[in-house]
Structure 1
Amino acid sequence: MGIFSRFKRKNEDAGEIAPAPDTRLRAGEPSRLPQDSEAERARLREIARATAAKIDAIESAMANDIFNTPEPAWGSGPRRPLTSFQQEQGGPGTLPMVEIPTTELLGDDVLPDAPVEAQAAPVVEESAILYANGQAAAAEHMLRDSLGEVGQLDRTVWWMLFDLYQAGNRPHDFDNLAIDYASSFETSPPAWNPLLPAASASSQPYAGVTPTEVLEGTLDTHIAPQLERLAQLAAPGKPLRLELGRITQLAPDGCDLLARALADLHARGSELVVAGAAELAALARQSTIIGQRESSPAPWLLLLALLQLLNREKDFEETAMDYCVTFEVSPPSFEAPGKVATATSAPASVERFMLPPIIEGDNAKLFGAIEAYAQEGDSVLLDCSRLARVEYSAAVALQARLRGLAGSGKKIEMRDMNHLVAALFKLLGYAGVVRLFPHKY
């Protein structure tokens, strides 16, 4: 997920979005700064944008190291002894719903400057259970009320709230929270990256192996067959996955091919999961020099296409103006990315099994499909980039199935989870069976 976010968004569906709840960080204190005026909001935006320039430079320099190094999975550290309740009930998988806060640290890959807690805050566990049981409003109020105290020590509560708004397609509330986040930590907030269409778009939302193309090495004409295969696999309701994080060098002809392919998929309304788009955008920016008219425009057009995928409208508009000045032509116009989700690159090249937006009720068919997919190899990679919510009882049942696969020697990973689902899985003891990788903010 990209690192920068737009603070003001044109929202054609504003009438369908519920207003942000009037909650408080602490009793009697406003959840926003008192000077809640346009001038103050503009000042807060400038705080994030000033920091953005520095972070963008660091991101460009470090992207290769970060995404070529295997990221740590949750549960890799020492586990705490079971509580007396857990011992009586037979293990961590039988924890009560709210009464006993006894999980390990929620997330091993915390921010460098985030304090390390001995265990997850109770609000993290309780909110995760409320959300899993369909009580999103109660989970939201609990998370918002904890921002002023727990949220200043553990950013997990912020990330869970960001994910709640993205799962609910609430960009206005997301932007308001982003302003609070920027003013609290003086850093750029997460970018808006909503989930792909959920069950409302189809009576049978897709779940299964995701067709994937991995582009690596030098981006030149050798990618043409892969892009042709991707176009042939595009079908309504069937997501595609495109891995871009392994590209190390750019050639103008390859930039042109990829930019055209992305534009074609966008025009066809294809559902797309793009991994490594931010890293490739940083690489493409190195090939764009303002005023160098004799250079190829292809890296510029690829950069603009990637910024559109990442939904970074402000960066897109600024780059488009630089493109216009350099080549003295009209730049492309920004369009919302549509049915696109972004993810981080993973070292594994195993085909992924994409989980549906919601897992609840009778899941015998889904569990059977996962087990059939697992028979194809020793590695089981579950893609959670579209997964919005897992019902508590379904999460327990899924854990039992995955424990069976792990017992037969399968290596299981769950990647790109939102932090609400990740907190629930952590609470239930998934880390003893599966390597968990929540998406990074």
Structure 2
Amino acid sequence: MLYANGSVDAAEAVLGTVLDSPSHQAGEGVWMMLLDLYRLTGQRQRFESRVVDYATRFERSPPPWQDLSSAPAQGRPKAVPLLSLSGTLSGQSATQFEQIGIIGKKSGAIRIELSRLRSVDEVGCTLFRKLLRELAAERVKVSLLKCGQLVDMLVGQVHVGRPEGRDGWLLLLEMLQHTGEQDRFEQIAVDYAITFEESPPSWEPKMEREAISTAAIEAAVTAAEGFSLDGELTGATTESIRRLAAFAADRQRFEVDCAQLRRLDFVSAGTLFNVLAPLHAQGKQVILRNVNAMVAALLRVMSVDQVAQVMLRA
């Protein structure tokens, strides 16, 4: 509770007093809380002075030292967020598109993987084009990956001489710019002009220039199927927790990576419970993975472990 409120020194003093008391046989959970507190605050010497006692008491290897303090790693490039669209692209995708827009504008660049789409309707085309226009207006770099399946679906839905589904036509032309298929683009652009009796968009290649291997894309998409919480989340910074509801909309099971989550306060823990409880009631399985022992203790106090599976970090 002290740590959740930001009183690190007081929390350390309480844990140290418990472990040093000759009359108190502290369990492994208390030891892990103190060791994680040392890692979270970058106190390597104190950590190393305790791990020997830990190993002796529990007859097992102690957790390794890892500096989990707030100092950022030097020279680490900022990863471009990768999100995956799946299922049906329709009016029900509005919330997901809204969240993609928020993430893209915040990061300045975003990658969207499309191979898991199974169908698309006119409203979905309209919403997707609106998202791409908004990101372009904000100068956000957008890379669309594996557009081929969406292109094939759209080709089957447009009909020369039948002036309907305009956004489907325009989305198709935009996807071809992302796949770099200029000849196919020019052919469909002529069909568009005939059908709607107006000039089609001009060719403007948008294919991602960097060579990305299929294996690399698949690995990134697998990672994107999860969700992450990081930093110190307090009552004023719960936006990332609220995004969980949108992320969970079309998923029955997913993981939340908490490896970089240092601290939650009581307000943010309550917000997390309020987001996860309805998901649990819907039968969805949420796994909070790599949670440090200090945060895990608060999650137990706030009953978050009753609506999600909490897994401690090594």
Compute the TM-score of the two structures, normalised by the length of structure 2.
Answer: 0.49
Report which structure shows greater RCO (CA 8 Å, sep ≥6): 1
Greater gyration radius = 2
More helix by share: 2
More strand by share: 2
